[in-house]
Structure 1
């Protein structure tokens, strides 16, 4: 798979853009602030419906414009497809596939597969669990687009359930009698959707684990072993540890990881945990158990990466996560021989030392399509020489 054409209208700094690509290496070169990242961000957004830079879509629409449009032509097995996404400020996004409108924008999910690595990915190692959960969910949607609706349904259910919990807490504090039958209904909905998401995440972590170990070894020259575990809040809740602390595997032992991959088993555990925590949830007005409270734990040897990994180790581990994602997508049987995603490196090489830079360059050089952004051409390793596009003042000009 590769992107052959990209057109932007009122996306970020671009009023209008038309740009063609070829398979292989393409470097987007230009000083900081000229629009390089905006270009690759548009492809990443079309792939995952999420920006690696901001959480709100409104920032993606050019100032003063009512909407932004991303259009790209994707080539797979010598057949091309046109993908279009319209981002409308304050309204639902609209999507087209080969010029035919789709019922929902998320129906475009999975048509373009990208793996994007950027400096912001250090937060996967150093920051709070939210980014790690998003990493897993975005990769899940690329592997199984139907999970986009499961994820959206769960988020909607949790918002509604939290509203009911807050209302119940207000009633309890005022001495009003509580009717919790409606909350029971939302418990069922949250457990059903949450169990699907947890089971899919655990299966994903199990599949990623060997790829992460191999990728980290390649980037870091085997300085230590990268390990990953899924930490389920339902396990901590059943052990009486509903806060951020507690044992990683309480309720589910390492030897019984298979239980977390079975949605029906997880659903029953979630319902049990919700009943166990109902008093605390009403008191706090929030849902205390479910995939929105889970974490992806990352280790180097026996030490947690967060708080212990050096800056260089954190970079290597973040790179390892993205390279592991790339290898997993590439090996996806459902896409057969053309499953290779587009690999995007946004301003990465300038942040790496010479050893890690060379190792990364040699790892990605054989990829079907690699898009690289760099402030200066010298930041792009020689082994990755290929097509070059100069970007200046949100104007992209192909120079070779």
Structure 2
């Protein structure tokens, strides 16, 4: 699978941009702040319905514009599809496939798949648990686009349950009133049902990803490792089957209820979990060096790529200003590993940052223009 044409309207710094793309390696070169990352960010948005740089859509719309449009022509084998996403901050986004009638944005998930390497990836190792949860959930959705609905359901129930708990906590603090919590059992059931599905998918993913991550780390840092991925649940237990996970979550919610009512927030569920990354016998966070942390983050992305490729529909590889962050050895090793990809999109401030093995099309990006050279 590869993108053959990318079209942007009022996206980030671009009033308009038309970029033809070929299979193989394409490098966007230009000084910082000229819009290189904006191009690959748009491709990534098609795959995840989100940005790897910001948490909301508002910054993606060009200043002064009401909306932004991302349009891409995608080829998989002999089949071509046109995807259009309209971003409307504060309102519902819109989507179309092959210029047909409007579909839900999440219906386009799975048409484009990407694995994106970026300087922000260091947060996978050094950052908060939310970074690692997002990594897992985006990869789960790439494998099974229907999980976007499960994640949406979980987030909706969590928000409504938290609203009820917050109201109960406020009632207790002001006047000692007791709020009717009879509906809390219903919300527990909904939260545990969606949570068990998400948790089962995460556990399956980690088991599948573990040997791939260990292999990728060995390729990047032959003298390091081994690496280990361990799931740290807020509802601990040995269950792996969905129904058992459901019962496990229900029991944990019941045990935590008193504390939840006092604090006004849900304390149990996938939204409170973490992925523990170990290097040898120690957690990578706090113990790994800067170079080891970078290798670990890159290994997770390479493992993701190997997993998606093995399951069909090879993803687009995106390397956003990564090589400038790496030492010469890691730079060359990473380039050798990704060069055979069906489509590899690279951004760099200068040509010298890009290893020679990544030969292919070159675009100069400057002053809002994207010009093939």
What are the equivalent positions in structure 2 for 1:296-315 lying under 5 Å apart?
A: 296-315=275-294
- In 2, Cα distance between the equivalents of 1:103 and 1:350? 40
Verify the 8 A CA contact 1:389 1:398 in the aligned structure 2: yes
Partner of 2:235, secondary structure, is helix
Q: Which runs of 5+ in 2 are unaligned?
A: none
- In 2, Cα distance between the equivalents of 1:111 and 1:31? 32
- Superposition deviation, residue 102 in structure 1: 3.9
- In 1, Cα distance between the equivalents of 2:351 and 2:46? 27
Residue equivalent to 2:358: 384
More deviation, 214-223/176-185: 176-185
Structure with a larger share of its residues in helix: 1
| C-alpha distance after superposition, 1:306-345 (max 9, x if no partner) | 001111001111100110000000011xx3xxx2110000
Matched, 1:82 2:56: no
| C-alpha distance after superposition, 1:178-231 (max 9, x if no partner) | 422111111111111111001101101111101100011101124221111111
Residue equivalent to 1:190: 191
Which of 370, 374, 396 aligns to 2:344? It is 370
Residue equivalent to 2:149: 149
What are the equivalent positions in structure 2 for 1:89-238 lying under 5 Å apart?
A: 89-173=89-173, 174-235=175-236
Verify the 8 A CA contact 2:214 2:225 in the aligned structure 1: no
- Superposition deviation, residue 8 in structure 1: 0.1
Partner of 1:112, secondary structure, is coil
- Superposition deviation, residue 77 in structure 1: 0.8
Partner of 1:280, secondary structure, is helix
Matched, 1:65 2:65: yes
Verify the 8 A CA contact 2:168 2:178 in the aligned structure 1: no
- In 2, Cα distance between the equivalents of 1:20 and 1:97? 19
Partner of 2:84, secondary structure, is strand
- In 2, Cα distance between the equivalents of 1:221 and 1:50? 34
Residue equivalent to 1:33: 33
- In 2, Cα distance between the equivalents of 1:393 and 1:309? 40
Q: Which runs of structure 1 show a deviation greater than 4 angstroms over 4 or more consecutive aligned residues? A: none
- In 1, Cα distance between the equivalents of 2:27 and 2:208? 31
Taking structure 1 as the reference length, what is the TM-score of the superposition? Answer: 0.92
Matched, 1:272 2:255: no
Verify the 8 A CA contact 1:188 1:271 in the aligned structure 2: yes
Residue equivalent to 1:318: 297
- In 1, Cα distance between the equivalents of 2:364 and 2:69? 22
- In 2, Cα distance between the equivalents of 1:295 and 1:102? 37
- In 2, Cα distance between the equivalents of 1:177 and 1:166? 12
- In 1, Cα distance between the equivalents of 2:289 and 2:71? 40
Verify the 8 A CA contact 1:216 1:222 in the aligned structure 2: no
- Superposition deviation, residue 80 in structure 1: 1.0
Which of 239, 249, 263 aligns to 2:242? It is 263
| C-alpha distance after superposition, 1:69-112 (max 9, x if no partner) | 00001110122110110001210110111111343111111110
Verify the 8 A CA contact 1:212 1:323 in the aligned structure 2: yes
Count of aligned pairs between the two proteins: 372
Q: Which runs of 5+ in 1 are unaligned?
A: 236-250, 253-258
Residue equivalent to 1:22: 22
- In 2, Cα distance between the equivalents of 1:328 and 1:165? 40
